[in-house]
Amino acid sequence: MIAVFSVVKLFFFGLLSLISIILGALLYPFRINEVMMLIMRKFWSPVVLKLLGVKVKIEGFDKVDKNANYLIMANHNSFVDIPVLSHSLPFNTFFIAKQELGKVPLLGWYIRASGMILIDRSNRIKANQSIALAANYIGNGKVVIIFPEGTKSKDGNIAIFKKGGFHLAQQAQTQILPIKIEGAREVWPNKRPFCLRRGVIKLIIGTPIQPQELQSMEIGAQAEHVRSIITNL
């Protein structure tokens, strides 16, 4: 029965996403990324969460300054992490996504139209260019989200953080907002799309980490320090 309901949910999820993608394709020539991000935050994300039967509980929301610009770092367990973060935070957020997603027909257009930042991990020069672009976003007052594990967790544990996000934080000289996501794996298990369940997802927001707190550490030590903070939230 769970599989049947999952298929129905996936159908409507796909339909909703297709509408958003087509809209993104139509707006792509105009690069109206702020409008696209608003649509994602106010339309796509809340409808997806309602469709999936997800309730979001937030702890530490008072630590967020809606007028500040952050580099948000969060653990990554499920596809549903994206609409949860997009809908729950009080500003438009720009995700850093892997380069491969930009090559998918229509979806790639939507990603580019919305101003998402694509990063090619296989090419150091292009990866550095993406980091520079993200730093420019932050410098212009935008909020960027990165999943420093690099991909969804395979076992539910928070994996070792990659260094790219910390080069970005260093270059942008911005504060890092650490967020721990709990319960997403139970709602939409990684690589098990036919096991969707209703449930509660909890966002635990930590105290922003200021640049000076990390400046005496090597990049690897910074990554482990922030990973420890998020793990213990």
pLDDT tens digits, 106-164: 566 667 767 778 877 777 777 778 888 888 888 888 899 999 998 888 888 899 999 88
Q: Decide if pLDDT at 200 tops 90.
A: yes
Please state the rounded mean pLDDT for residues 32-41: 73
Average pLDDT, the chain: 85
Taking residue 132's Cβ as centre, other Cβ atoms within 10 Å add up to 14
Give the confidence band of 9 by pLDDT, cuts at 50, 70, 90.
confident
Q: Decide if pLDDT at 63 tops 90.
A: yes
Give the confidence band of 210 by pLDDT, cuts at 50, 70, 90.
very high
pLDDT at 104: 65
Q: Decide if pLDDT at 220 tops 70.
A: yes
Sequential DSSP letters for 102-155: GGSTTHHHHHHHTT-EEE-TT-HHHHHHHHHHHHHHHHTT-EEEE-TTSS--SS
pLDDT at 34: 66
The reply to whether the predicted model has a pTM over 0.75 is yes
Sequential DSSP letters for 175-227: EEEEEEEESHHHHS-TT-TT----EEEEEEE-PPBPHHHHTTS-HHHHHHHHH
* Beta-sheet strand order (sheet of 199-205): 54-59, 199-205, 175-182, 70-74, 143-146, 93-98, 117-119
CB 118 within 8 A of CB 197: no
Give the confidence band of 28 by pLDDT, cuts at 50, 70, 90.
low
The tokens describing 83, both together, are 């609409």
CATH code at 2-231: 3.40.1130.10
Please state the rounded mean pLDDT for residues 168-185: 94
